[in-house]
Every structure is written in structure tokens, then in C-alpha cells.
């Protein structure tokens, strides 16, 4: 017989009571984030409200289908929270149709293909080493395995080569053209790409995952009047939980009156089963936050901080792709110190509690796994309240570490790269400049507390 007292206690216990091992790991992650600078541009820190919604009882529910058209009972509250998220997204982005069920960004993009393309159709997107996204036609991804991918590129100055895009589109007559990126630091040319798509009769999909928060905050132009489909993640600059949305614009409905239904059918039952209702609830909370006037100030501050970061880096002798940025990220070109230096600088900054990621640069002389660049940005530090004064300090610290570490280590040409990196990591971590910057970072972070009330 079940002991009701023990059962009640089990369902009301905290993680630290039921699983001290996981509790310890979570606390370590909170400490890591609180004592460091999260500067990977695709990362952010969400509010406690978003965290609470993500951990809500909606994680218990199955709700295959769409609001008021479910395959399970007991979905009146799931219907309400999903409908609320949809209406908030429509208002924020100014679109007639939104699907909030994609599990994440790549599945959302897959659904866009599934809705408007047949296997073997020609598609175009920005080349991955030039800053594009895997799902926009990179050779190892489904988008190039099931479709004919014709990538376009950036010019030597780092800006998208619109003349090449038009030439390739006229020659190849793609079914779908993507705009979007993982490492493109300038404002997207939505209008120009939309015109090219119209000229060749292609669908134009804008993947705004990185800049969605900037768009709704008025810090980046919107693709809505130029694209047929808009996809986005809900984390990054939108500052929500990990998830995604697909939007159909009025231009999309004018091109294909059934496009909204095709998108919805592509998600369910085409690609996914039951939606993650706890994720939907957290997305609704994040969208509610983005509707508040102060979010526009936040979005604009991200860009102000990023411009300050770029200027500081360049003033301290660091080379940037396109010599700056219009959005939330910078791409550091380390080739003045040699090729493949990104991993050393990433590891050194990580040891100094500054989290960035190694990244390819346009025409990178090295490989994607050992690239010659660093990608970094300002969403998360802006969420913590840091402004230009703090960012100027951070930029100087980053430049110090780059100039200390990048010239000091060279990748071997043979297959011992991984072993060599591992062998020099302890030395990098104990480097005097790295240790000094680490102490400065921790002191700065202590002035901007993060998740101080969380107890797992």
C-alpha cells in the first residue's frame, strides 16, 4: 500500500532534497554564470518569471494539435496559454499568423522547407563559413542533402554580396531563398533580398533568430513587409526560453492563401508530436515582457553596448570583420596573429570567466573546428544591467588577453592539434594576464548580481 505521507512529500520536495547530485550541478552553473560574463551572442539570461513558467505544471500535459483542435482532453488551459502566446507574437511582429510550437530553431526551419519545397528543389542561403546557418543549405545538413543548395557569399568587406545573390537566383531559379545567419554583424538587407526573390518567383524566408529582440525593440529593421515566412528562436535577443516560432506575413498569404495551413501542417502532424506546453507558457511570458516599453530601451542598449565593444577592441589593436557591427555581435579576425587561433583565445577568455565561442571568419585560412575568429556579443551582459562604461572595461580586458595569448601558440600542422591544445590549456589558465583579468571580471560581476534568490 502506498504511504500517502511519503508520496505527498516526494511530489513537494525540492531538487536539493530529492537529488543532491543534480542540485549541486545546477548550483555550480548558477555560480559560473553569476561570476562570469556570458558573451556568446546566441545566449542570454531570462527573467525569473520565464524560468518559473518553463518549470511549471504545463510540463505534465500532452496537447497534440492546435488550440481548440486537440487530440487529447483536458487542454482548456493549454489552449489558453498557446492562444495568448500567438496573439502576443502577432502584435509584436505585426503578422497575421504565428505558430509557437516548433521545438527549436532548426526544426522551425525544417518545417519551412517541408511546407513550400519538394525534395530536390533548389534553395539558397548564406554560406556557413561566411556567417550563415547550418539549415540554410550547408553541405552536411539535411537542407543540402534533401534539396539542391546554391549558397551565396559575403564580399571581401564582409557584407552580403547582393550582386552575386541576384546572379545565382536568375541562373538557378530557387524555390526558396533564406536570409539569416549565425555570424553576420551587419543589418540584414531584407528589402533587397525580397526583391530578388520576387523577381525569380521564390519564397523568401527571413530567419531572424539572432535579431528578433532587436527588431521588436526597434533596434533593427523588420523583414515582415519583404518576406513570406519569418522564423525565429525565442531565446537570444528575444530573451525567452529555448524554443522557436514560425510566422506567415501578409505578403506570404498574398503569394499563397494556404501558406499558414501548410506551415501548421508541416509542424503537426508533419514533423512533431505534442508541443512542449511548458515552453509555450514561458514563450508567452517572454513575449509579454517584450511588449513592455522598457524592452525597447533594452534592445537599443544591446546595440549601444555592442558598438562600444567594437570601438574599444579596434582602439586596442584588434581587427574586426567589417570593422564593426550594426547589431548585437562582433566577429574578431585573429589572422594578424596567424591561422586557427580561435580555440586558444576562446580557452583563455573562458579561463578569465569571459565566455565566447571560436568561429570561422569569411575566407578563413583554417577549418571550422580550428577557426581563425572569435564570435562575441552583448545580449546577456546587457540583461544584467551593464552599459557602455562596463563594456569599455570588458573590451580592454579581451584585447589584453588576445594580445597575450594569440601570438604565443600555433596549431601544429599534423593530426596532433587536439593533444597540443589540451597540453597547453593548463599553462593558458595560469597565465598572469588571464588570472588578473579573471579577478577583474569577478569583481565587476559582483556589482551585477544574477539569480541571487535561486535555491536548488
What would the mean pLDDT of 47-76 be, rounded to a whole number?
A: 97
Per the residue annotation, which of 61, 175, 186, 236 is the catalytic one? 236
Which one of 19, 43, 64, 161 is the catalytic residue? 64
416 belongs to the catalytic site: no
- Whole-number pLDDT of residue 7: 79
Of 35, 43, 62, 400, catalytic = 62
Query: Given this model, what pLDDT does residue 193 score?
Result: 98
Segment 105-109 mean pLDDT: 97
CA 392, 393, 398, 400: dihedral to nearest 10 degrees?
Answer: 110
Cell of 313: 577592441
Q: Does 62 participate in catalysis according to the annotation?
A: yes
The bridge status of strand 148-149 relative to strand 122-124 is: parallel
Among 361, 332, 366, 364, residue whose Cα is nearest residue 349: 332
Q: What is the pTM of this model?
A: 0.96
- pLDDT at position 455 over 90: no
List the catalytic residue out of 182, 233, 237, 382: 233
Concerning whether 236 is annotated as a catalytic residue, the answer is yes
Q: Is the peptide bond before 171 cis (omega within 30 degrees of 0)?
A: no
Residue 24 is placed in which grid cell?
A: 549541486
113 is annotated as an active-site residue: no
Note if 19 is an active site residue.
no
Write the DSSP symbol of residue 19.
-
pLDDT for position 214:
98
User: With contact defined as beta carbons under 8 Å apart, do 117 and 262 qualify?
Assistant: no
- Give the integer Cα–Cα distance in Å for 82 and 88: 10
Architecture in CATH for domain 57-290:
3-Layer(aba) Sandwich (3.40)
| Residues 343, 345: Cα–Cα separation, whole Å | 6
d(CA 309, CA 396): 9
Each residue's pLDDT tens digit, 230-251: 999 999 999 999 999 999 999 9
Residue 265 parent element (H or E): helix 259-265
At 4, the pLDDT band (50, 70, 90 cuts) reads: low
Is 242 in the active site? yes
Among 3.30.70.890, 3.90.1150.10, 2.30.30.140, 3.40.50.1110, what is the CATH number of 296-445?
3.90.1150.10
**8-state DSSP, 308:** H
Cell 569571459 belongs to residue: 354
Q: Where are the alpha helices (DSSP H) in 117-157?
A: 142-145
The tens digit of pLDDT for each residue in 20-60 reads: 999 999 999 999 999 999 999 999 999 999 999 999 999 99
Q: Which residues are registered as beta bridge partners of 122?
A: 148
Q: Give the ranges where 316-353 is alpha helix by DSSP (H).
A: 342-351
Q: Where are the domains of the chain?
A: 57-290, 296-445
- Of the residues 91, 155, 166, 242, which is catalytic? 242
Amino acid at each position: 500500500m502506498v504511504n500517502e505521507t511519503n508520496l505527498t512529500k516526494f511530489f513537494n520536495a525540492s531538487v536539493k532534497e530529492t537529488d543532491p547530485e543534480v542540485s549541486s550541478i545546477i548550483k555550480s552553473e548558477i555560480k559560473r554564470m553569476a561570476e562570469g560574463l556570458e558573451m556568446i551572442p546566441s545566449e542570454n539570461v531570462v527573467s525569473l518569471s520565464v524560468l518559473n513558467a518553463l518549470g511549471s505544471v504545463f510540463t505534465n500535459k500532452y496537447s497534440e494539435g492546435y488550440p481548440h483542435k486537440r487530440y487529447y482532453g483536458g487542454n482548456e488551459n493549454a489552449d489558453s496559454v498557446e492562444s495568448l502566446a500567438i496573439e502576443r507574437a502577432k502584435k509584436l511582429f505585426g503578422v497575421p499568423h504565428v505558430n509557437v510550437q516548433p521545438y527549436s530553431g532548426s526544426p522551425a526551419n525544417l518545417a519551412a522547407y517541408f511546407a513550400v519545397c519538394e525534395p530536390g528543389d533548389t534553395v539558397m542561403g548564406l554560406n556557413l563559413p561566411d556567417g550563415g546557418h547550418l539549415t540554410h543549405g550547408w553541405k552536411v545538413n539535411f537542407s543540402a542533402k534533401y534539396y539542391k543548395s546554391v549558397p551565396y557569399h559575403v564580399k571581401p568587406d564582409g557584407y552580403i554580396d547582393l550582386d552575386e545573390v541576384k546572379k545565382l537566383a536568375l541562373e538557378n531559379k530557387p524555390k526558396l531563398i533564406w536570409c539569416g545567419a549565425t555570424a553576420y554583424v551587419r543589418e540584414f538587407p531584407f528589402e533587397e533580398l525580397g526583391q530578388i526573390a520576387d523577381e525569380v518567383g521564390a519564397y523568401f524566408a527571413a530567419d531572424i533568430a539572432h535579431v528578433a529582440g532587436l527588431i521588436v525593440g526597434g533596434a533593427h529593421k523588420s523583414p515582415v513587409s519583404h518576406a513570406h515566412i519569418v522564423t525565429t528562436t525565442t531565446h537570444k535577443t528575444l530573451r525567452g526560453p529555448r524554443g522557436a516560432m514560425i510566422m506567415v506575413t501578409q505578403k506570404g498569404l498574398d503569394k499563397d492563401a494556404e501558406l499558414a495551413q501548410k506551415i501548421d501542417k508541416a509542424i503537426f502532424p508533419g514533423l512533431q508530436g505534442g508541443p512542449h506546453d511548458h515552453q509555450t507558457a514561458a514563450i508567452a511570458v517572454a513575449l509579454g515582457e517584450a511588449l513592455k516599453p522598457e524592452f525597447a530601451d533594452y534592445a537599443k542598449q544591446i546595440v549601444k553596448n555592442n558598438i562600444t565593444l567594437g570601438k574599444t577592441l579596434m582602439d586596442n589593436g584588434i581587427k574586426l570583420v567589417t570593422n564593426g557591427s550594426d547589431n548585437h555581435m562582433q566577429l574578431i579576425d585573429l589572422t594578424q596573429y596567424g591561422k586557427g587561433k580561435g580555440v586558444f583565445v576562446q580557452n583563455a577568455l573562458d579561463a578569465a570567466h569571459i565566455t565566447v565561442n571560436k568561429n570561422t571568419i569569411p575566407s578563413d585560412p583554417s577549418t571550422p573546428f580550428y577557426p581563425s575568429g572569435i564570435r562575441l556579443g552583448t545580449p546577456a551582459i546587457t540583461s544584467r544591467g551593464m552599459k557602455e562604461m562596463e563594456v569599455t572595461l570588458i573590451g580592454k580586458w579581451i584585447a589584453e588577453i588576445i594580445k597575450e595569448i594569440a601570438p604565443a601558440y600555433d596549431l601544429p600542422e599534423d593530426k596532433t592539434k587536439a593533444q597540443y591544445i589540451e597540453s597547453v590549456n593548463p599553462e593558458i589558465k595560469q597565465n598572469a594576464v588571464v588570472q588578473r583579468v579573471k579577478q577583474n571580471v569577478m569583481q565587476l560581476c559582483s556589482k551585477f548580481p544574477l539569480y541571487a534568490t535561486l535555491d536548488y
